[in-house]
Structure formats: C-alpha cells, structure tokens
Structure 1
Amino acid sequence: MADVTIIGQIDGRDIKAATLFGPGGLRVVLLTYGARLAELWVPDRDGSLADIVLGHDDLQDWRTQGGYLGATCGRYSNRIADGRFVLDGRAIKVDQNEGNQHLHGGRDGFDRKLWTIDSHSAQHVTFAAASPDGEMGYPGAVTMRTTYRIDAAGGLVIEMTAKTNTATVINMVNHAYFNLAGQGAGDVMGQLLSVCAGFYLPVDDRLIPTGEVRPVTGTAFDFRALRPIGALLPGPGGFDHNLCLSAPVAADGLRPCLQALDPVSGRRITMSTTEPGVQLYTGAHFDATPGKAGQRYARFAGFAVETQRFPDSPNNPHFPSARLAPGETYRHVMRFDFCPAPR
C-alpha cells in the first residue's frame, strides 16, 4: 500500500500525505489538501535524485502563499472573462477572483478542498471530493476524482474525472511547477522545452484570449524545436499562454504534448495528454516565496505546463467545448515519462 501519514490539520480535519515509490528511486508525495503533487523525486543522468516540483515545507504556506502549487484546480481552470458565460441559454455568473475575471475555479476552488483518499495501493492513490450545485456560481452538483499512479514503465499518470447531475462546464488541471535542476535551484530560463503546437491563443491585457487562433511561426510561441525557455519571451512577464496541441491522438488515447530537459543534470520529462491545449506559465509571480528545504523562490523559479481545454472556452464557441452533461464522464489524463538524456 501507499505510505500514508498525517501531517497536520486544517479546519479540524487531518491532512494526509501519501507516498508512492517507482523504479530508479522515483518518489511521489501527494497531499489530500487540494489533491496535490507535493514532491516528485527523479534521478539525473548519474542517478542522483532531486525533487523537481515546487512546493512548501509548512502546511499553512500551502494555504496562504497562492500560486496553486501542485494542486488539482477547477471547477473551471484558467480564466473566464468577467466571470460570465451562457450555458444552454442560461446566464451564469461565477466568482471573480482575479480582478473582474474568474481564475482556476474561484477563491474556493478545488485546490482548497480537503479531499479524501478513496483508494490506494503501492502504485496509486485516488482522491475524491464533491462540489455542490451553486458552488462559486457553477450549476450542477459534481463529484470528482484525481488519481496519481506509477505505471509499469515507471511513468507518472495523473487522471482527473468528474460527473454532474446538471449540465455544467468543467476543466480540471494539475498545476505543478517544474524545475528539472531541482526545486530551489535557480530560474528555469536555461532549461529546454519543445511543445507539439503549431498554433497559440493571443491574449489581451487581462490574459483573456482574444478569440483568435494564430500560427506560432515567427513568434516567441514557436517551441516546435527544443530551445531554452528564456531564449525568446513575449514580454517581461514571460509566458502565460495557451498553446494549441497539433499532434494526432495515439492508440492509447493520448497525444504527444512536450519534452523538457535540463541540459546540466540531464533530467528530462516527456508528456502526453488527452487535452487539446497546454498553458505554459513561467512563474513570474514568485518573489522570495517560501519553498521547500528552506529555499526561497524568485521570479521564474519554475514552469507550469497545464494541459487543458482552452481558457475562456465557455465564451468562445469555436474553442473545444468544456460542457459536461448528466450521464457523461469528464476524463483528463496526463502522462509523464522520465528518461535522462545522455552526457
């Protein structure tokens, strides 16, 4: 079975950490608070382990520091313009928690829920939670699950599912921040990234998509070949944009998404997903943020790659739909493989 321990309490309820172990020293630590990925220990090309996801030492920092580190986010992750949309002819208003915009499910989204452990084994943990009708303004009572598992090949699979009793919209994401040199090891601007995306979504000054879908050719968003993340930035804030995935879906139902590589350590991840887009965010908000092992995270301390339905899809009918109806199951899968690059 997974190693499960109590690490503290929130609102009088125990918060648990569950640890999974994989080949080559792979270790995954998960929290019931926000069904989140708290630690991910991966070997470099010489077998030395480092924790490659950002997080906190103190349980209260998980609650107060923001940034959604490692969390399962929803009900609708990313942004909805003005916190408003129309669903089946009904005007819906959801929580406005980023200026006038809705972000990552609102101020009490899935990231702040105290999830329960529904099942666990040596190779998986499944978290469960519920979102009542009207929570943060959303229609429909939703039940959801997030499963983390280490598969037979030593990859990490994250699977998020949901069901509803009334038509709603849903877009659950995992919001881990990666630094392949190890959390707290400086910025990620020199780490290499390639993304299987031929188009991107331009945004306005609120970071809301304009509705256009543009080719990446000749722009800072062209990651079709492996290149340093910081080699070409779209502005001083770095990246916080959706890239539209273009690789075909494979027989396992997943499409290739990206490759990321730290050229110094050789740590490398490849990622595939069921979703049509990936939000690349380079962590511009970090500012001496308390991290793990006494580290402080500065600007660009990690990059997030959130596979997803497109931001503001409920207001853009030409974007992939996020509507979930009764009797349907929402299912979002991300798969990470770890294969160090040779020297």
Structure 2
Amino acid sequence: MANLNVMSWGEYQLFSLTNQRGTQVDISDLGGLIVNFYAQDKSGQTRNIVLGYEAPSEYLKGRCYLGCIVGPWANRIANGRFSIDDVDYALELNEGTNHLHGASANLGEKRWDVTRVDDMTLKLTTTVNAGEAGYPHTIDFVVTYHLTEQSELCICYEAMPHGLTPINMTQHTYFNLSESEDVLNHSVQIHSDRYLCVDSCAIPLFEAPVANTPFDLRQPVKIKEGMIQANEQLQAAGGFDHCWCFDATELQPNAVVYEETTGLKLHVASDQVGMQFYTGNFLNHELGRNSQVYKKHAGLCLETQCYPNQINMDNKQDCIYGPNKPYRHNVVYQVQTIGK
C-alpha cells in the first residue's frame, strides 16, 4: 500500500513517499531536499539513486547544492545585475562575478512549512523577504511533491512575488543510477537540437545547433564518450554544464538517462524552455552518506528551468513575475527498471 511516514532528522524531519513498486522518496523540510530516492533494480536490489549527506548540518555546510530546491533564481545572473522598467537592481554575488542559485536567499537552506496532502503528496511553503540577497520584493513559494504508482516523482513549483521580480526555480538532485564512483558509464539522451554556448563565467553567449558537436545527445550517448571529444566548451567547464533549449509550453520529454548494469532508466519531462545538464564537475572529495567520497562526476543533475541569465536577454519578460503573473513550473522524474 502507498503510505507516508514521518521521521525526525536532527532538528528537521523526513517525509517518506512510497508506492507499491518499492519506490521511495524521502523529502525534508530543510530546503525541500530529496535526501533519498530508492528504486528496485533489475535484480531486485534496492538502490539509492541520489547523492546525499547523513545529517542536516552537512547539507547546511555543503556548497554543492545536493538534493535541494534552488531559487529564487536557479543558475546564474551575470554580475548579479538586471533591470525591470528602467530600474536597476543588484543581487548578491556568490560565484565570482555571478549571482548563483539565490546566494544567501537560497531556498535550499530554509526550513519549509510542510502540509501532508495525502499519502502520496507533500506541499511545502516558505518565503523570501524583500532585501534578502538583494531581491527587490517579498516572494511566497509553494512546492508540491507527488509520487505516483508509476514511480513518477511529479514536482510543481509555484511562486507569488509581491512585485515584479525574476524567478527561476529547479531541483538540484545529483543522480547516480548504479551507486558507482562516477556516472561516466551512464548513457544520456536529450531531446533537443539546440544548446547555449557559454563564456568563461558560464554565462550564455548565444544559442547554437548541437549537430556535429559533443552536445548532440539526440541519440543515447555514454557520458564518457561525449566528454573525451575535443571541445573548448567541455574543457572549460570540466565536463557538461550547459543548458539545452526547448520550445516548451506543455509538459514534454526532455531527457533519458540509462545505466545498463542496474537496468535503471530515468525519464525527465517538463514545461520549461531550458534544462541544465551538469556532470558534477565541481564535486571535489565531498564526504557523503555512508562514508562515501563524492569525487568529480560522482553524480549528474538534470535541472529544468528557464535560461541562465535570461533576465538579461531579449526574452527577459518571460522570466519576470509579479502579483498578476504568478510563477509555475512542472517537472516529472520517472524511474523505470529495464529487464526486471
């Protein structure tokens, strides 16, 4: 039977969503964290397919955004600056010249209020107050997690700004479908023919076709095979850390990740115009759960969102929200077992 269990977790709590297939997702009121994501592989073994720490304090100390909801602005804003209606704003800088993942207003470090909707659904709420990290207006956030019997983790992000504000939310879970040292033997497929070329600060420069580049993942490619190709963009980032482009208005497939030895396959679908595919290039001997050491490429992220730095692009109006235009973003992560 589907059920929802609640456990204490230091000063916080863990809420476990479980279905009849044995899929279990543990979510915390700290940062809306996906702390554990258990799935049955093709041999019937239970695998935890996400990276994580043991204790809440480690998440608060960590700088890799393991498992958390990120915002008010996921990804980067160049120089932390933008303008709305000819008014200039400056956000806190926390990655060189970039504003990244909300800086000190980061949603992943807040204690969220949690409402149990039913045995398969959690609703979380929190607020960023005007002035936090330079954000000009108070923003009320709601995130809903729902686990289906088809092992789909459905996430709905909503935000209600009290004034015109750029918003871009995502989930920063690092997936590893085999609990192996790295994800280089995972295959990835991204259903897009365009990606964003970036500068040395990881700020998008222009949209480019993926054809005849390592970014052509329209057919499944092993990550290690994509990364050995000579390419300045890959070398500068230390791997994949780029945004693919979609014509999104309705929920549509974005990506598929597959790991042959476990038979586990992860499908991602969203209604967003972008998806950042990140291969854990900045993981640097991060001490995780069960004394595991997460080295470079230990996990991968599939972050559905608008474009990085979109607030400074020609399509900036699409990422500005306000009292008469609330933010909403839907994404589905579905785990499937092949060969069971």
The two structures have a TM-score, normalised by structure 1, of: 0.93
Which residue is 2:230 aligned to?
none
Structure-to-structure mapping, 1:21-170, within 5 angstroms? 21-170=18-167
2:235 pairs with 1:235: yes
Q: Distance in 1 between matches of 2:98 and 2:121?
A: 35
Superposed CA deviations along residues 126-156 of structure 1, whole A, max 9, x for unmatched, are 1110111122111221111111111243311
Q: Distance in 2 between matches of 1:154 and 1:280?
A: 22
Q: Relative to structure 1, is the Cα distance of residues 43 and 278 closer, same or farther in structure 2, using a 3 angstrom cutoff?
A: same
2:303 pairs with 1:302: no
Which residue is 2:201 aligned to?
206
1:161 partner SS: strand
2:210 pairs with 1:216: yes
- Work out whether residues 201 and 242 of structure 1, in 8 Å CA contact, stay in contact via their aligned partners in 2: yes
Q: Distance in 1 between matches of 2:164 and 2:317?
A: 16
- Work out whether residues 133 and 141 of structure 1, in 8 Å CA contact, stay in contact via their aligned partners in 2: yes
- Work out whether residues 309 and 320 of structure 1, in 8 Å CA contact, stay in contact via their aligned partners in 2: no
Q: CA RMSD in A?
A: 1.5
Which residue is 2:313 aligned to?
316
Q: How many residues align?
A: 331
Structure-to-structure mapping, 1:259-278, within 5 angstroms? 259-278=256-275
Superposed CA deviations along residues 104-144 of structure 1, whole A, max 9, x for unmatched, are 01133111111111334210111110111122111221111
Q: Relative to structure 1, is the Cα distance of residues 31 and 220 closer, same or farther in structure 2, using a 3 angstrom cutoff?
A: same
Q: Distance in 2 between matches of 1:37 and 1:310?
A: 23
What is the one-letter code of the residue matched to 2:235? Answer: G
2:195 pairs with 1:194: no
What is the one-letter code of the residue matched to 2:223? Answer: I
The two structures have a TM-score, normalised by structure 2, of: 0.94
Instruction: Report deviation, 1:3.
Output: 1.3
Which residue is 1:330 aligned to?
327
- Work out whether residues 55 and 70 of structure 1, in 8 Å CA contact, stay in contact via their aligned partners in 2: yes
What is the one-letter code of the residue matched to 1:94? Answer: L
Give ranges in structure 1 of 5+ residues lacking alignment.
10-14
Q: Distance in 1 between matches of 2:92 and 2:201?
A: 16
Percent identity over paired residues: 29
2:290 partner SS: coil
Which residue is 2:283 aligned to?
286
Counterpart selection for 2:8 from 6, 16, 22: 6
Instruction: Report deviation, 1:301.
Output: 0.1
Instruction: Report deviation, 1:341.
Output: 2.0
Moved more, 270-279 or 114-123: 114-123
2:332 pairs with 1:339: no
Moved more, 229-238 or 15-24: 229-238
What is the one-letter code of the residue matched to 1:303? Answer: L
Give ranges in structure 2 of 5+ residues lacking alignment.
228-233
Instruction: Report deviation, 1:321.
Output: 1.9
Which residue is 2:219 aligned to?
225
Instruction: Report deviation, 1:320.
Output: 7.3
- Work out whether residues 201 and 241 of structure 1, in 8 Å CA contact, stay in contact via their aligned partners in 2: yes
Superposed CA deviations along residues 33-56 of structure 1, whole A, max 9, x for unmatched, are 111111000111222210000110
Q: Distance in 2 between matches of 1:60 and 1:128?
A: 21
What is the one-letter code of the residue matched to 1:8? Answer: G
Q: Which runs of 4+ in 1 moved over 4 A?
A: none
Q: Distance in 1 between matches of 2:13 and 2:204?
A: 37
